[in-house]
Amino acid sequence: MDVSEFRRRGKEAVDAIADYYESMADAAPLPTVEPGYLYKLVPREAPEEPEPFDDIIKDMETKIMPGVTHWQSGNFFGWYPCNSSFPGILGEMYSAMFNVVGFSWLSCPAATELETVVMDWLGRLLGLDSRFLSIKEDGTEGRGGGVIQGSASEAHVVAIIAAREMALARLRAQGVRDADQMGAKMVAYFSDQTHSSGEKAAAIVGCKTRAVASDSAFRLTKEALAAAVEEDRRAGLIPFFVCGTFGTTNTAAIDDLPGIADVAGAEQLWFHVDAAYAGAALACPEFRPLARGVERADSFNFNAHKWMLTNFDCSAMWVADSTHMVNALSIHREYLPRTKGSTTFTKDYRDWQVPLGRRFRALKLWFVLRTYGAAGIRAHIRRHVEWAKWLEAQLLADGRFEMVTPVVFGLAVFRIRPAALPAPTEDAANRANAELARRINADRRVFLLGTKLRGMDVLRPAIGSSHGTKANVELLLAVILEFASAVVADCARGE
């Protein structure tokens, strides 16, 4: 493909993308294909000779498109949102143009420095403590700063590695022999509601984990954490890391972050805050009181690709002190020369992450922050919170539903109340709610997740599409009500 064909194909692609988004307002979110569908439609090997691009585009329309889950549909309420936006897509385009591997300052100064700059912008937008900024208000450079990871999972791995390094450094300083053998005794603390990426990160790093029981509101509390740590200390284990969540996956619960900070301080644990979903809400000052305690964390992470209009992947992570992280992840090689000078600007971001190579992801975040402005981003967040609260009010007004947790952000966790069923038992409610989720998704107009909370079947639509409107949430409500009536009627008939 020569450059003139690229000009043509690229513009066709732009129109195809625009057309796609024009169809996304009310697209059916889930595909109907069966596992293995694609294998039957395509050859066993790559073609020997070049194929016309028209054939590829035709195959994309007829073979790929039918198997796509449309995360960008206004009727997609599954998991958490994965926002795309036009400036985000443009950022990806320019990033693909440069196609740099920005592992060090020299490998692309603009990529390194723009990341440092926009992560400070983003930190200020969220009201993060200045400990997390690269350049403080008075212009001084600190030990903290931000980095764009690919995912919250990677942020989790990096935080645990930094925590282990910090703990091992302390053990060595205390003269503990064989400190490096202590890995198997080290314990990372989560709650039973922490995202799977925490447990997975601990499995990767090879430390012990303890899932502390959350309270009735699905929150990790100071008391439960302190008791678990004390018990493990008595058993000869080495507590070293705790994750507090600001907006859990199941219910968007907020852990007792100030209490966790107290325990982490007293016990010298690395305190990581996973705000993958709800962190975006901190752009709005009214949500910041909920995040008290974050200012005492060692690391904080949220996904700008979830609810802040920046195409996947863009997981924003800050550390208050990068020393241990860089010590743990820095490997010197002659072929990876370092640039001398201010450590703030010549940092080698490869020492802030698992991989060596990294894409120029700061570009899309810069595009998004400037195209929307802080005001636009706050409006984006507030709109979805308003719609989620509206949905909550409608469900409660109906009388047949109960909220499992109150709506705080864009997630509504609810179920049909047992009392609304002919046989008002928990078992009957579970069967009815699992069936409600199944029917809603089988209908295909909207998609949401049913999940289990302590044995209780619930539904958890997440509102936050960058392309949806309130009409989509109205449809969601209509579909819920329609199938709830059918499910309750079937229960009455004993089905």
Q: How far is CA 130 from CA 121, 139, 221, in A?
A: 11, 11, 26
Binding residues for a second copy restricted to 355-384, rule: CB under 8 A: 355-357, 359, 363, 366-367, 369-376
Select from 26, 28, 89, 444 the one that contacts a second copy (CB under 8 A).
89
By CB under 8 A, residue 117 contacts a second copy: yes
Cα radius of gyration (the chain): 24
Select from 26, 199, 295, 321 the one that contacts a second copy (CB under 8 A).
199
Select from 138, 181, 442, 495 the one that contacts a second copy (CB under 8 A).
181
**For residue 358, which of 302, 306, 317 has the smallest C-alpha distance?**
317
Q: Which is nearer to a second copy, 75 or 95 (CB)?
A: 95
By CB under 8 A, residue 345 contacts a second copy: yes
State the number of binding residues for a second copy (CB under 8 A). Answer: 152
Residue 163 tokens read as: 């925590």
| 29 vs 443: CA distance, rounded Å | 11
Query: From the CB of 164, what's the least distance to a second copy, in Å?
Result: 7
Q: Which is nearer to a second copy, 66 or 406 (CB)?
A: 66
Q: How far is CA 31 from CA 73, 150, 451, in A?
A: 12, 26, 20
Q: Quick one: which segment of 235-243, 339-347, 391-399, 420-428 binds a second copy (CB under 8 A)?
A: 339-347
Q: Which is nearer to a second copy, 379 or 419 (CB)?
A: 379
Query: From the CB of 416, what's the least distance to a second copy, in Å?
Result: 18
Select from 346, 383, 390, 488 the one that contacts a second copy (CB under 8 A).
346
By CB under 8 A, residue 138 contacts a second copy: no
Q: Quick one: which segment of 47-55, 284-292, 395-403, 487-495 binds a second copy (CB under 8 A)?
A: 47-55
Specify whether the CB–CB gap between 329 and 347 falls below 8 A.
no
**For residue 75, which of 458, 380, 467, 390 has the smallest C-alpha distance?**
467
By CB under 8 A, residue 454 contacts a second copy: no
Q: Quick one: which segment of 145-153, 235-243, 317-325, 383-391 binds a second copy (CB under 8 A)?
A: 145-153
By CB under 8 A, residue 64 contacts a second copy: yes
Select from 27, 71, 166, 408 the one that contacts a second copy (CB under 8 A).
71
Select from 28, 386, 451, 475 the one that contacts a second copy (CB under 8 A).
451
Query: From the CB of 237, what's the least distance to a second copy, in Å?
Result: 12
The alpha carbon of residue 252 and the mean position of all alpha carbons in its chain are separated, in whole angstroms, by 12
Which 3 state secondary structure label does DSSP give 162? helix
**For residue 186, which of 207, 165, 212, 157 has the smallest C-alpha distance?**
207
Q: Can you point out the beta strands (E) in 250-386? A: 270-274, 299-303, 315-319
By CB under 8 A, residue 311 contacts a second copy: yes
Q: In the chain, helix, strand, coil percent, each to 5?
A: 50, 15, 35
Select from 119, 122, 429, 473 the one that contacts a second copy (CB under 8 A).
122
Query: From the CB of 59, what's the least distance to a second copy, in Å?
Result: 8
CA angle, 488 as apex, 486 and 491 as ends, to 5°?
Answer: 110
By CB under 8 A, residue 97 contacts a second copy: yes
Q: Which is nearer to a second copy, 148 or 263 (CB)?
A: 148
| 416 vs 393: CA distance, rounded Å | 14
By CB under 8 A, residue 236 contacts a second copy: no
| 346 vs 39: CA distance, rounded Å | 47
DSSP result, 210-252: EEEPP-TTS---HHHHHHHHHHHHHTT-EEEEEEEEBS-TTT-
Select from 36, 236, 289, 494 the one that contacts a second copy (CB under 8 A).
36
Q: Quick one: which segment of 156-164, 223-231, 292-300, 424-432 binds a second copy (CB under 8 A)?
A: 156-164
Q: Which residues contact 137 (CB under 8 A, 6 or more apart)?
A: 130
Q: Which is nearer to a second copy, 96 or 492 (CB)?
A: 96
| 53 vs 60: CA distance, rounded Å | 11
Binding residues for a second copy restricted to 386-445, rule: CB under 8 A: none
